Structure formats: structure tokens, C-alpha cells
Amino acid sequence: MPIRRSRHPAGYAAIAAVAFACGWFTASWSKGRGGHGEVRSAAVASAAASAAPPSAAGPLLEEGDEMDGGDAHPRREGSVAGIASVDDLNRSALLAALNCSDSGQETKSQGCLAQLARFSLSDPQIRDTFLDYLAATRDPSRRQEVISAMTPSPLSTDQLAPLLAQIQSLREAEDPRIRAAGLVSLAQWDRSAAIERPLREGLDDADPDVVRAAMTAVSLSNARSDELKQTLLLLAGDSPPGSELRDAAVTALRDFSLDAREFAIYQHLAGSARLP
């Protein structure tokens, strides 16, 4: 009997190819299940990778962010196709720490305040975000709290000026504790000769806590003028022996050059002071 040829050779070839592929995949899967190692098809892996959903990691839309052309994420310099850049992530982390530190739970707030020390204001994104936060904060005690938590960083004068303005605003607070803390922060950040004026004003403050903080600020600063020295000698002499004011004044005088007369006064005052 003559052999009848199929009219659909291509169809049978396709069926054979599918059957072979199924048999190969089943064998490979069984081999992986049997503990001899997982075998993957390159085509399957490639298809799975191309089908993976796009990353959803992007900066949260915050107040003040603008949408551009209906994008799902605000467009910021350094971000690509809605994916958060390193700057975006650092900025978000700082905002999270600031918001967390303002919580009503004291333990949680203190823990979040401690996190602020790891953010450097030498980073422009961090600095701008921090300054925006301070400008929007009306409570001077809150401004003082977050400023004190930051670690001083070397900055150029133009970069430092906005921060110094925020710190200077603390000197106008009615609460002497805020004025005192503001003086110490100012001495930590401002290494210029301009620091001398607020130091003199602090030493002349009506509140003894502010005066004592000004003495500490003198020690932290680079200011060593004769006027500051004479003011410290006078305050130390007018303060009761063993008082905190005398102790702080004598401690600050250690960093000044003293002539023979001044040194004799210093030795007399130091004899009744409790020095570390």
C-alpha cells in the first residue's frame, strides 16, 4: 500500500517540538526536585525578568512638591523615571527623624533627636531641608531642640549664614533656657569674630543661667578679647565662692593670656572655685 504523505508537515513538526520541550522541562524540573540542583530555562528567566513590575520605591509626595505633566512622582534633580535618588532618600530620612522627634512620647522623641546627629549639613539637600523645617517651626523651644541635636559641620560663610540667623533668633526668646542654649549653639557654629557681640550680651543678661551659658560659650568659641577677659574677671569676683557662676568664669579664664596682676586675681579666685 502506498504511504500517504501528510499535507501538514509543519504542523507535525511544531507538535513534535512542543512535546520535546515539555519532556525536557519536566525532566529538568524533576531533576531540581530530586536535589541535583535547580535548572532553569534561559528563555523562562528572561521572560520573568521582563515581566517583573517596575519598582515602586519613590519619594512620597510631600506638601510643596509639584506634579509635572501628570507624573506619579514629583520630579527632583537626580531622580530617574520616578525612582528615588540617594538625595531623595536622605531627605526623606531626615524628615522622618524630624517628625518622629516631635512626637508626644518623650522616650521616642529623644531617640529620634539622637538620630539627627548623623545628618551632615555639608550636604546641600540635607541643609536645605533642615533650614526649611526651621523656618516653618514657630515654636522657639522646638527650633532650639533640633538645632542642639545637629552636629556642627564646616561650612562656607554663605552656606552658614541662614543657619546662624535661625540660631540668632533664639536669643530673643522669653524663656532664659532657650536663650542659654542658643548661645552655646551659636558658639559651636560661628567661628568668626562676630561671635563676640552675642557673648558680651549674654554675659550681661539678667538671668544667671544665661550668664553661665555665655561663659561656657566663651570657652567653646575663638573669642579672646581683652573686654571679654575683664568681664569674666569681674563676674568671677562678684560671684559667691563655690557658686556655679564663679566656677564657670574661672574655667573660661583658663584660655586667656593673663598678665601678672590678672594672674594673681585668677589664682585667688581659682582657690575657692570647684574646677573639673
Question: Which of 247, 257, 249, 179 minimizes the C-alpha distance to 224?
Answer: 257
pLDDT for the residue 58: 32
pLDDT for the residue 64: 38
User: What does pLDDT average to over the chain?
Assistant: 77
- Answering whether pTM is above 0.85, one says no
pLDDT for the residue 85: 62
pLDDT for the residue 89: 79
User: Does the pLDDT of residue 249 top 60, yes or no?
Assistant: yes
Alpha-carbon distance 73 to 85, whole Å?
12
Interval 190-203 mean pLDDT:
95
Residue in the block written with cell 510643596: 64
Report in angstroms the alpha-carbon separations of 156 from 9, 169, 191: 80, 20, 11
pLDDT for the residue 225: 96
User: Does the pLDDT of residue 78 top 50, yes or no?
Assistant: no
Vertex 77 angle, CA 72 and 79, to 5°: 50
What are the DSSP calls for the chain, one per residue?
-PPPPPS-HHHHHHHHHHHHHHHHHHHHHHHHHTTS-----HHHHHHHHHHSPPP---PPP-TT----TT-SS---TT-BTTBPPHHHHHHHHHHHHHHHHTSS-HHHHHHHHHHGGGS-TTSHHHHHHHHHHHHH---HHHHHHHHHHSPP----HHHHHHHHHHHHHGGG-SSHHHHHHHHHHHHHH--SGGGHHHHHHHHT-SSHHHHHHHHHHHHHSS---HHHHHHHHHHHHHSPTT-HHHHHHHHHHTTS---HHHHHHHHHHHHTS---
pLDDT for the residue 276: 66
pLDDT for the residue 81: 44
pLDDT for the residue 106: 84
pLDDT for the residue 74: 38
User: Does the pLDDT of residue 26 top 50, yes or no?
Assistant: no
Instruction: Considering only residues 258 and 35, tell me which one the structure prediction assigns the higher pLDDT.
Output: 258
pLDDT for the residue 50: 37
| Contact between residue 39 and residue 30 where contact means Cβ atoms under 8 Å apart | no
**How confident is residue 84, by pLDDT bands cut at 50, 70 and 90?**
low
pLDDT for the residue 86: 67
pLDDT for the residue 17: 44
User: Does the pLDDT of residue 94 top 60, yes or no?
Assistant: yes
pLDDT for the residue 5: 46
Interval 110-139 mean pLDDT:
92
Residue in the block written with cell 570647684: 274
Interval 191-219 mean pLDDT:
96
Residue in the block written with cell 505633566: 69
Worst-scoring range by mean pLDDT, 2-16, 174-188, 200-214, 247-261? 2-16
The four Cα atoms 107, 113, 117, 122 give a dihedral, to 10 degrees, of 170
